[in-house]
Amino acid sequence: MKPVEKSSEMVKVLDSISLNMFGKSRSEAIRQNICVNCGGEADRFVDIRSKREFALSGLCQNCQDSLFGSIGEP
Ligand SMILES: [Zn+2]
């Protein structure tokens, strides 16, 4: 997937997580469809929003659920 380049504090944090864990940048992980948080394949998403979220944050569906699940929809 093509990574979305957007600078926010969260993306910076995710960048450093992915660099520390996998030695590759978030953008690189997204291009290879790899989750920056758990290192698993990020190839299945429940909807287009989750897919877009992966392009932005590099988080697979499972990690999105666990990280954003408690926030929920407004
Ligand atoms: Zn994950």
Q: What is the pTM of this model?
A: 0.71
Is the residue at 1 inside a domain?
Answer: no
Measured in Å, residue 18 CA sits from the centre of ligand 1 at 11
- Looking at the structure of the chain, the number of domains it has is 1
What is the residue range of 27's domain? 9-68
Is the residue at 2 inside a domain?
Answer: no
Is the residue at 74 inside a domain?
Answer: no
DSSP string computed for 32-56: TTB-TTT--B----SSHHHHHHHHH
pLDDT at residue 13, as a whole number: 85
Q: Pick out the chain residues at pLDDT < 50.
A: none
Is the residue at 56 inside a domain?
Answer: yes
Is the residue at 73 inside a domain?
Answer: no
Measured in Å, residue 20 CA sits from the centre of ligand 1 at 15
